Amino acid sequence: MDAHVSPSRVAGRARAPPSKSYTHRAILAAGYGAGTVVTDPLDSADPRATGRAVEAFGGTVEWVDDDGQAVEEGASAVEVDGFGGRPGTPDDVIDCANSGTTMRLVTAAAGLTEGLAVLTGDESLRSRPQGALLDAVESLDGRAESTRRNGQAPLVVGDAMGGGAVAIPGDVSSQFVTALLMAGAVTDDGVTVDLETELKSAPYVEITREVLADFGVDTERTDTGFRVPGGQTYATDEYAVPGDFSSMSYLLAAGAVASEEGEAVVVEGARPSAQGDSAIVDVLDRMGADIAWDEAAGEITVRGGDLSGVEVDVGDTPDLLPTLAVLGAVADGEMQIVNAEHVRYKETDRVAAMAESLTAMGVEVTEEQDSLTVHGGDSTLTGATVHGRGDHRLVMALTVAGLVADGETTVTGAEHVDVSFPDFFDTMAALGASVSVE
């Protein structure tokens, strides 16, 4: 499926979808417990994959509408009857589809099973590194191996891992820490995670700790990492998911680069939380956009301005890189996106993908292993056919670029927005964007 975008102006009110990160964690936390209703979830492909994993471990998960009726899409709540602590051995392979978060969080959960669980996913997911997490499970006396012995899925995990101390690198994925903290809470001895390198994407661990606290699970920071005491119980009757700042970034960027003169884009659902990607507000302010966040109302208002490139460290905010690259293409001067090597290990190598796509659109870029510099002052965005590479964040960021490119832009793989923002194109059209999908 392709998206066709023509130069256009945007204005009006929009609501970003609920947070994918919080939805994943809330559904699995509910699975570890006895019974929870998760309200305002993101109903998309990735959280549904986590829900299927909870069912594979012996829980029940039902996505329902406002009337409590089961629905295939557009659910307003998830009713979870959990597996009550230790997950059962699945009857079949767990297919995590394209969801890296599901794969990593569920790997540690699978390590708790008495038997063995087999985890797999699509081609993209089967190319992503899991080795450090597998080593951690094995060091906790579980079994964890890659069927191809390359640290990538398919994975075989189980044999009732226990608690203890593990050492893992912090610069591959913060999801390894999240997975071990969530699983460690129900072990007898708890789990201490010592970080061997600097933790990248650290705010995502704080999201985890925030969700666990809401489920009554204690965690703590240590001098070298994190610890979760054992013997704990997940318990809350209801959990409300906040709005997603990663998804908001595309709407805010659209307002900053393509708002109607004298008009604004207002993004609703911007409730303060531990999400690192709320940094997009500060970045746009530093770049010169007219932006204001009413935290009490949960609304961010943004208008265009004379944008200038700035330096942004994405060590804690890897999902913002595609949005930042597009902003840099429109801004004067240089946009320097640094501390970015870990962004190469997402659904695709997002550093290389954005460099390739922006180059195709006439933008000068300098790509290095750990950084991407966009020379917006020396470039003119021009419509072209660019490839989404099966990555929802690339598709949405490049759509924003198409709003201000000369001529039509075609973004391939438009269907992948279903991963995190299923109504993205409808939302953009409602703001006035000239975009069609076919």
Angle of CA points 347, 146, 225, to nearest 5°: 70
Q: How many CA atoms lie within 13 A of 188 on its CB side?
A: 4
Tell me, what's the pLDDT at 277?
94
Least Cα distance to 418 among 32, 49, 25 occurs for: 49
Average pLDDT, the chain: 96
Each residue of 117-133: pLDDT tens digit? 999 999 999 999 999 99
Q: Is 20 annotated as a binding residue?
A: yes
Is 128 within 8 Å of 152 (Cβ atoms)?
yes
pTM: 0.81
Q: Which residues are tagged catalytic? A: 319
Q: Is 393 annotated as a binding residue?
A: yes
Domains of the chain, earliest start first: 2-17+243-437 (3.65.10.10), 20-225 (3.65.10.10)
Mean pLDDT, residues 416-425 taken together: 92
Q: Is 174 annotated as a binding residue?
A: yes
Mean pLDDT, residues 304-330 taken together: 96
- Residues of the chain with pLDDT > 70, as a percent, come to 100
Q: Is 152 annotated as a binding residue?
A: no
Q: Is 346 annotated as a binding residue?
A: yes
Each residue of 199-248: pLDDT tens digit? 988 999 999 999 999 999 999 999 999 999 999 999 999 999 999 999 99
Neighbours of 221 (CB within 10 A): 11
Each residue of 156-195: pLDDT tens digit? 999 999 999 999 999 888 999 999 999 999 999 999 999 9
Mean pLDDT, residues 24-35 taken together: 97
Q: Is 173 left (phi over 0), alpha (psi -120 to 50) or beta?
A: beta
Each residue of 273-315: pLDDT tens digit? 899 999 999 999 999 999 999 999 999 999 988 999 999 999 9
Provide the terminal-to-terminal Cα distance of the chain, rounded to the nearest Å: 6
Each residue of 331-388: pLDDT tens digit? 999 999 999 999 998 889 999 999 999 999 999 999 999 999 999 998 899 999 999 9
Q: Is 227 annotated as a binding residue?
A: no
Q: Is 303 annotated as a binding residue?
A: no
Q: Is 232 annotated as a binding residue?
A: no
Alpha helices, DSSP H only, in 185-243? 202-214
Amino acid type, 158: G
Q: Is 350 annotated as a binding residue?
A: yes
Q: Is 371 annotated as a binding residue?
A: no
Each residue of 84-93: pLDDT tens digit? 999 999 999 9
DSSP 10: B
User: Six-digit token pair at 235?
Assistant: 């318990």
Least Cα distance to 169 among 129, 207, 206, 204 occurs for: 129
Mean pLDDT, residues 135-146 taken together: 98
What's the rounded Cα separation, in Å, for the pair 351 and 368?
A: 9
User: Residue 316: what are its φ and ψ, rounded to 5°?
Assistant: -100, -10
Each residue of 58-109: pLDDT tens digit? 999 999 999 999 999 999 999 999 999 999 999 999 999 999 999 999 999 9
Is 289 within 8 Å of 276 (Cβ atoms)?
no
Tell me, what's the pLDDT at 347?
85
Angle of CA points 69, 70, 75, to nearest 5°: 95
Q: Is 288 annotated as a binding residue?
A: no
